Amino acid sequence: MKLAFSRKHLCIPYAVFLVLFVIAPILIMLYYAFTDSQGTFTLANFGKIFTDVPTISAILTSLAVALLTTFLCLLIGYPVAYILARTGMKSSSTLLLLFITPMWINFVLRINAFKEFFAMINLLDKSAFFNTVIGMVYDFLPFMILPLYTTLIKMDKNVIEASQDLGANKFTTFVQVILPLSMPGIISGITMVFMPTMTNYVVSDILGRMQITILGKLIENYFMQNNWNMGAAISMFLLAIMFLFTFFTGGFKNEDNTRGGGLW
Amino acid sequence: MKKFICLLLTAMLTLTCLSALTACGQKKTAGGELVLRICNCEDYIYVDEETDKTLVDEFEEAYEKATGLDITVEYSTYGTNEILYNNLKINPGSYDLVCPSDYMIQKMINENMLEKFDDVKNDVPNYFEYASPYLTDLFDENDWTDYAVAYMWGTMGYVYNPKYVSHEEASTWQVSLNEKFANKTTLKDSVRDTYFLGVALAKLEELRAKNEEFTKGTLTKEEYADYLVKAYNDTSEKTIAEVEKQLKAAKKNSFSLEVDEGKGDMVKGNVWLNFAWSGDAVYAMDDAEGLDTILCYSVPKEGSNVWFDGWVMPKGANKKLAAAFLDFISDPENACKNMDYIGYTSSIAGETVFERLQESDYVCDETDKDAMPVDLTYFFGEINGEPAIVYTNELNRQLLAQYPSQDIIARCTIMEYFDDKTNDRVNAMWNRVKAGNIWLYVGIIGGIVVVAAVAVVFIVLAKKGVFGKKVKKGYTRVE
């Protein structure tokens, strides 16, 4: 028998990888999410998500942290990306590099260094919530700047010139032309900041000194307390939120892919 | 042919992936050599800083020398007692020897997960000769002797910075609620230990009254001890509710919840008061001395916890090998090495350990000014027919953290384990304590949504040209 080898066979390792490390874990999580500690079917875990004070508190805390972080990142990131992309400075790529370089250092180290810095300027023992948000903004700013920068640098200059030719002033050009055209970058930046900040509990542990509990931390707590069912249920809930978020921001569409902004 | 090789490579890659997965957790028995599988807490054994050799390596060599048999020790570490417990539940028989804490040992005994020592008791002569009578008595009283040998032990209390906190203030658990130290205290992110603190806060008055009765002599030592163990391990609904209230207040007053960070924060001066295990306290005090900072340790007068970690053999363990290892680490020389490296107090007493203590910086000469005697006979027994007394001029520092005086021991009690139902209740309470103020976050989210909505409206209006100068149709503006 002749062994027929086609390019399809090269997919086998990936298929195995996907089954073992993506599909199987999700199935295991589903099993735990829908059972109680005795292994019998129950929906109580999901009921508890919406009735249990610690879970509601963690969801709200996560939302508050993520929304505020995303908002601040956009507020800081957009002008930076705009300046970098538009001014045509010779040094703009160097400047961009300066924004990316911190990402080459492990973020746990950076956040720990940030903690020392905070202690130095006597901010560390102030609000755990705002310390966490500041840490998150510091950590995720490059994820906002890069997609924005990529979209803005790719933008056709002629469109802007056309707008000016037609009598629009700078403000109108920005609102009518540049902003709508950079929407994919904004959405991609928001996705990349909003989703990880919901669960990145290293920042809230170190800068928030474990005083605030966000969803990622809550899941860890439940697993540490040997309550895998509740931990799995919250993970599934989080997965559902992420799915909806990605769906509504058009993350599943293929066209004009600026997601990752050339980072990945 | 080329295609065939490609296919082969693909298949091999898949197989390695699969076999790597299934290989985890399997026991190596290559060549029929002896394998001892140990699971210990992290950083909980001596490591020679120059050669990187651990006490485990030294054991392998010593064992091979003594018996001529090849032995391999598979040494692994665990993060928390709960993780170790889960491991043992999921993979029964995966370890020969593990080192959990007191309450977890009780839970394991109760769930019949452990082997008894009986027939290998004689293989651990070092332990039974040198272990402190205080700990062996404690184990006898609680019927743990058949299942466990003690490893390290200590008390819980406060590490405090005398620059800001007086000894008087640090001698009561109430200091955790003292607003004078707002944002300068810590709590442990470990439910069992923090629950203990919560109970102390909830029953403060009662505990104080009993302590006074005991010091006056109206309460005997036994009665007091009985009271303490019941009071501190109380899990009635009423107590849990009160503990929740107190811990919420304590959390509000605290700088952080931590497990390891407290030592560093204490030394750096980020906090002034750290709810800590005595071993960590010694470590922090030693560390601070290097930076010319003085830190102290106190065990509050309302009573505290005396904890220990012990070695137990899960069901199906190789008892002979486990016993040989225990005997080796119970050798006083090795116990001293462990103590020097880890900073915690070994359960091993005896002359060698006592001499090491007398030579340490923590004690002073009898003839020194302000030298005060500390009687440690309860722990060391009599040394050469003499009571074990050391002298110190600092009663609230390393010496008493490492070896509490008899007064301190009299007001310390053990932690008992909680059954699953109680555990769930206490965990739920702890999760509520850790939860934040819901309305605050609703407010913040509302604020952000309003700001975002205003921004969107502004942009929409701007797009419609409400703000900009309107350009007349049909004309092009020339600048």
Please count the residues of chain B: 479
The CATH number of the domain holding residue A213 is: 1.10.3720.10
Q: Tell me if A30 is assigned to some domain.
A: no
Distances (CA, A) of B97 to B35, B74, B124, B312, B319: 12, 11, 14, 6, 8
Q: What is the pLDDT of residue B203?
A: 92
Q: Is the dihedral of CA B140, B144, B149, B151 positive or negative?
A: negative
**Test mutation, B193, B430, B431, chain A, max A CBs within 10 A:** B431
Helix (DSSP H) and strand (DSSP E) numbers for chain A: 14, 0
Please count the residues of chain A: 264
Residue ranges of alpha helices (H) inside B254-304 are 261-268, 278-290
- CATH code for residues B154-307+349-434: 3.40.190.10
Helix (DSSP H) and strand (DSSP E) numbers for chain B: 21, 13
pLDDT digits (tens, 9 = 90+) for B7-25: 544 555 455 544 444 444 3
**Is B471 in CB contact (< 8 Å) with chain A?**
yes
| B324 phi, psi to nearest 5 deg | -60, -40
Contact: B14, A3; criterion CB under 8 Å: no
Of A16, A67, A171, the CB nearest to B468: A171
Tokens of B328: 């080796």
Task: Name the residue range of residue A158's domain.
Answer: 39-262
Contact: A57, B80; criterion CB under 8 Å: no
Distances (CA, A) of A186 to A19, A25, A81: 33, 32, 11
From B191's Cα to the closest Cα of chain A, the distance in A is 9
pLDDT digits (tens, 9 = 90+) for B106-116: 999 999 999 99
Residues in chain B closer than 8 A to A36 (CB atoms): none
Task: Provide CB contacts within 8 A for B234, sequence distance 6+.
Answer: B199, B203
The answer to whether B255 and A208 have CB atoms below 8 angstroms apart is no
Q: What is the pLDDT of residue B438?
A: 85
Q: Tell me if A151 is assigned to some domain.
A: yes
What would the mean pLDDT of B342-356 be, rounded to a whole number?
A: 88
A vs B: CB pairs below 8 A: 124
Contact: A225, B191; criterion CB under 8 Å: yes
**Test mutation, A205, A224, A229, chain B, max B CBs within 10 A:** A224
Least Cα distance to A66 among A198, A236, A168, A176 occurs for A198
Tokens of B290: 């290097």
Q: Tell me if A34 is assigned to some domain.
A: no
**Is B66 in CB contact (< 8 Å) with chain A?**
no
Q: What is the pLDDT of residue A253?
A: 63
Cα dihedral: A123, A124, A127, A132 (round 10): 110
Lookup result for tokens 């016993």: B323
Domain count, chain A: 1
Q: Tell me if A101 is assigned to some domain.
A: yes
pLDDT digits (tens, 9 = 90+) for A66-90: 999 999 999 999 999 988 887 766 7
Q: Is residue B185 scored above 80 in pLDDT?
A: yes
pLDDT digits (tens, 9 = 90+) for B279-294: 889 989 988 988 888 9
Closest-approach residue (CA) in chain A for B255: A125
Write out residues in chain A with pLDDT < 70, as ranges.
1-3, 88-89, 251-264
SS3 B466: coil
Q: Is residue B477 scored above 70 in pLDDT?
A: no
Calpha distance B240→B243 (Å, rounded): 5
Q: Tell me if A216 is assigned to some domain.
A: yes
Q: Is residue B6 scored above 60 in pLDDT?
A: no
Please identify among residues 263-282 of chain B the ones whose CB lies closer than 8 Å to any CB of chain A. Answer: 268, 270
Tokens of B108: 């394991």
Q: Is residue B3 scored above 60 in pLDDT?
A: no
User: What confidence category does residue B473 fall into, taking pLDDT thresholds of 50, 70 and 90?
Assistant: low
What would the mean pLDDT of B123-149 be, rounded to a whole number?
A: 89
**Is B449 in CB contact (< 8 Å) with chain A?**
yes
**Is B82 in CB contact (< 8 Å) with chain A?**
yes
DSSP A23: I
Of A9, A10, A169, the CB nearest to B468: A169
Calpha distance A202→A200 (Å, rounded): 6
pLDDT digits (tens, 9 = 90+) for B439-455: 888 998 999 999 989 98
Q: What is the pLDDT of residue B371?
A: 84
Please identify among residues 220-259 of chain B the ones whose CB lies closer than 8 Å to any CB of chain A. Answer: 251, 254-258
Q: Is residue B49 scored above 90 in pLDDT?
A: no
**Test mutation, A14, A114, A175, A227, chain B, max B CBs within 10 A:** A175
Provide DSSP, B56-110: HHHHHHHHHHHH---EEEEEEEESSHHHHHHHHHHSTTS-SEE--BHHHHHHHHH
Q: What is the pLDDT of residue B298?
A: 93
Q: Is residue B419 scored above 50 in pLDDT?
A: yes
Residues in chain B closer than 8 A to A124 (CB atoms): 270
Within 10 A of A2 (CB to CB), how many other CB atoms are there?
Answer: 6
pLDDT digits (tens, 9 = 90+) for A109-160: 999 999 989 988 888 888 889 999 999 999 999 999 999 998 988 888 888 8
Global ipTM = 0.80
From B85's Cα to the closest Cα of chain A, the distance in A is 9
